[in-house]
């Protein structure tokens, strides 16, 4: 008797555990579905557009479903034995259709166009002025890696003392970072999920973008364009350091670059004079 009671109790525990396990899995799935942490000053603009698009479309979709299933129910055979024919071309039908079309156009297309063109003008294409403070990085995408170049101690790009890193972007916190970017081979897409920024790297063209990061830590750099068989490997790391740590890191890297840069190496010659393209 006792034994079976203990057995049943164990069974209950096991059940509770599996329920808890399922709940945890569902929760972590939900967490994984959520966008990563936003550490930029302008990422909220992208999130606003993303959320607005989602919810306004959800609203119209629900309305369509309500009409579809609602009328199917109201005019089911049970309620209306006799068929009712209409061509739907009366004035009121045309008016309803036009109003819904106008509603979708105004609430989706117009709002998104207006808000995104405002954000682009005021923020994303409103590039920071060139100054001592500005962190300048050249990005060179290739199958399948990210090359990052800093000017080095002389402040000039494409000179012998440049700091060149592979898959390793290091920036100071709360500073504007300006990127000039191109690609060596095919189209890649420079993607920084934590600052909600994504731009194509196109061979023969130079893209520029700017961002900032307001939280120290390590974040992902990804390629968001299917660029070949090892596209999935094209992953870099963005490290955000405090100004102090960044300065000493930069100093150290500049020492290393001066001591070890092989200026004859083709691998180091991909840069260009800042702003020349
Ligand atoms: Cu790529």
Tell me, what's the pLDDT at 15?
82
CA of 112 from ligand 1 middle (Å) equals 28
Q: Residue length, the chain?
A: 277
Contact between residue 167 and residue 188 where contact means Cβ atoms under 8 Å apart: no
CA of 220 from ligand 1 middle (Å) equals 14
Does residue 128 carry a pLDDT above 80?
Answer: yes
CA of 230 from ligand 1 middle (Å) equals 8
CA of 181 from ligand 1 middle (Å) equals 13
CA of 147 from ligand 1 middle (Å) equals 12
Token digits for 47?
């999130």
Distance CA 212, CA 177 (A): 6
CA of 137 from ligand 1 middle (Å) equals 18
Enter the pTM of the model.
0.79
Does residue 203 carry a pLDDT above 80?
Answer: yes
* Residue pLDDT, tens place only, 71-123: 889 888 888 777 778 888 889 999 999 999 999 999 999 999 999 999 999 99
99-135: string of b/e by CB count within 10 Å (b at 16+)?
eeeeeeeeebeeeeeeeeeebeeeebeeeeeeeeeeb
CA of 232 from ligand 1 middle (Å) equals 8
Token digits for 11?
């069974």
Distance CA 214, CA 198 (A): 18
CA of 204 from ligand 1 middle (Å) equals 16
Q: How confident is the model at residue 266 (pLDDT cuts 50, 70, 90)?
A: confident
CA of 203 from ligand 1 middle (Å) equals 12
Contact between residue 198 and residue 191 where contact means Cβ atoms under 8 Å apart: yes
CA of 180 from ligand 1 middle (Å) equals 16
Q: How confident is the model at residue 248 (pLDDT cuts 50, 70, 90)?
A: very high
CA of 198 from ligand 1 middle (Å) equals 12
DSSP-derived pairing of the beta strands 177-183 and 135-142: parallel
Alpha helix segments (H runs only) across the chain:
2-33, 43-74, 91-104, 111-119, 243-260
CA of 182 from ligand 1 middle (Å) equals 12
Does residue 277 carry a pLDDT above 70?
Answer: no
Tell me, what's the pLDDT at 243?
95
Q: How confident is the model at residue 259 (pLDDT cuts 50, 70, 90)?
A: confident
CA of 229 from ligand 1 middle (Å) equals 10
């Amino acid at each position: 008797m006792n034994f079976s009671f203990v057995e049943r109790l164990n069974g209950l525990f096991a059940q509770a555990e599996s329920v808890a396990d399922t709940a945890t899995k569902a929760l972590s799935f939900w967490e994984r579905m959520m966008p990563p942490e936003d550490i930029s000053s302008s990422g909220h603009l992208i999130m606003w557009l993303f959320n607005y698009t989602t919810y306004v479309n959800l609203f119209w979709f629900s309305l369509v479903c309500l009409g579809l299933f609602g009328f199917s129910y109201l005019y089911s055979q049970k309620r209306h034995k006799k068929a009712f024919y209409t061509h739907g071309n009366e004035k009121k039908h045309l008016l309803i259709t036009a109003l819904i079309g106008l509603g979708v156009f105004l609430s989706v297309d117009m709002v998104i166009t207006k808000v995104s063109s405002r954000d682009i003008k005021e923020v994303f294409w409103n590039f920071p002025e060139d100054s001592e403070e500005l962190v300048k990085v050249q990005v060179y995408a290739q199958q399948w890696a990210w090359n990052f170049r800093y000017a080095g101690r002389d402040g000039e790009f494409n000179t012998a003392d440049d700091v060149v890193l592979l898959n390793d972007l290091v920036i100071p916190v709360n500073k504007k970072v300006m990127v000039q970017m191109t690609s060596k081979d095919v189209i890649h897409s420079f993607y920084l999920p934590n600052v909600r920024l994504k731009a194509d790297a196109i061979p023969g063209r130079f893209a520029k973008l700017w961002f900032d990061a307001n939280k120290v830590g390590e974040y992902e750099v990804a390629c968001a364009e299917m660029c070949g068989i090892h596209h999935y490997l094209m992953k870099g790391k963005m490290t955000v350091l405090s100004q102090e740590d960044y300065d000493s890191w930069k100093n150290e890297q500049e020492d290393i670059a001066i001591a070890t840069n092989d200026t004859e190496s083709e691998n180091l010659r991909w840069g260009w004079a800042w702003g020349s393209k």
